[in-house]
């Protein structure tokens, strides 16, 4: 569903990502771990060209988003949902307004269609009863679930998560992870950057350890957490676990 091929990213003289190759099969949850500054966010942002790769290819559902017209890119961008650490909801719009806006602007859905889809997705994240609330009336965990619903409402083929629970108070983390686990169980294809190692052990199909802009090793969660091969992986895990 998503294939990152020989991805390279440079900022000026600095090479931030070097020969990154990741394949995420349909329905798979691939988990990325690694120290701060290792290039995880940059890698995710390259997947929908929020950040322009210096070299390499990004293939979504068989289509290379590095080639093709501007319109092809806009269409494919909608197919790659992204959830960030901060929720970026519009503060002056209701929850329903936030979840319908891009559906109407980018997909041209009618208000009725967009409302229906939004309510379905809010139901899925357990927040249908908050449709008329303003973002400021919600907890951080609820705001993040709205951001997930907003993304899902655009019918993505794959969802990218960049530290979705890092900004949350500890007691709110579980509700967001539960939504992500539920998404995985429903067959969503997901690439997740997070420090929630317990969640990775429980739900990830594969774990990739990145450091210094390269993939150091990857494997099943029990292998990476239980018997990491590389010294750098062991050192990282001993700091965070």
Does 16 contact ligand ADP by CB under 6 A? yes
Using CA atoms, how far apart are residues 203 and 179, in angstroms rounded to an integer?
Answer: 12
Using CA atoms, how far apart are residues 32 and 10, in angstroms rounded to an integer?
Answer: 20
Residue of 2, 20, 30, 42 that binds ligand ADP (CB under 6 A): 42
How many residues bind ligand ADP (CB under 6 A)? The answer is: 10
Using CA atoms, how far apart are residues 38 and 4, in angstroms rounded to an integer?
Answer: 17
What stretches of the chain adopt beta strand conformation (E)? 2-11, 14-24, 29-33, 55-60, 63-64, 80-83, 158-162, 189-193, 206-211, 214-219
State the nearest-atom distance from the C-beta of 144 to ligand ADP, in Å: 18
206 binds, among ligand ADP, Mg ion, none (CB under 5 to 8 A by kind): none
Using CA atoms, how far apart are residues 45 and 62, in angstroms rounded to an integer?
Answer: 19
Does 189 contact Mg ion by CB under 5 A? no
Does 184 contact ligand ADP by CB under 6 A? no
189 binds, among ligand ADP, Mg ion, none (CB under 5 to 8 A by kind): none
143 binds, among ligand ADP, Mg ion, none (CB under 5 to 8 A by kind): none
Site for Mg ion in 21-40 (CB under 5 A): 40
Q: Which residues bind ligand ADP (CB under 6 A)?
A: 11, 16, 34, 36-42
């Amino acid at each position: 569903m998503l294939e990152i091929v020989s991805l390279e990213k440079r900022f000026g003289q600095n090479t931030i990502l070097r020969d990154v190759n990741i394949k995420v099969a349909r329905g798979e949850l691939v988990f990325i771990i690694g120290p701060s500054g290792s290039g995880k966010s940059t890698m995710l942002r390259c997947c929908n060209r929020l950040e322009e790769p210096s070299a390499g290819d990004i293939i979504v559902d068989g289509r290379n988003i590095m080639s093709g017209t501007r319109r092809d890119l806009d269409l494919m961008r909608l197919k790659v949902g992204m959830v960030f650490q901060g929720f970026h909801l519009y503060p002056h719009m209701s929850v329903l307004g936030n979840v319908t806006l891009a559906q109407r602007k980018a997909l041209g859905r009618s208000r009725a269609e967009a409302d229906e889809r939004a309510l379905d997705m809010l139901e899925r994240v357990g927040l249908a009863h908050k449709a008329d609330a303003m973002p400021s009336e919600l907890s951080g965990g609820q705001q993040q679930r709205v951001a997930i619903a907003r993304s899902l409402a655009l019918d993505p083929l794959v969802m990218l998560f960049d530290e979705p629970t890092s900004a949350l108070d500890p007691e709110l983390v579980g509700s967001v992870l539960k939504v992500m686990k539920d998404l995985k169980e429903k067959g969503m294809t997901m690439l997740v950057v997070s420090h929630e190692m317990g969640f990775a052990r429980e739900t990830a199909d594969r774990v990739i350890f990145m450091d210094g802009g390269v993939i150091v090793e990857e494997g099943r969660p029990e292998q990476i957490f239980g018997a990491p091969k590389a010294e750098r992986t062991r050192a990282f895990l001993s700091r965070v676990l």
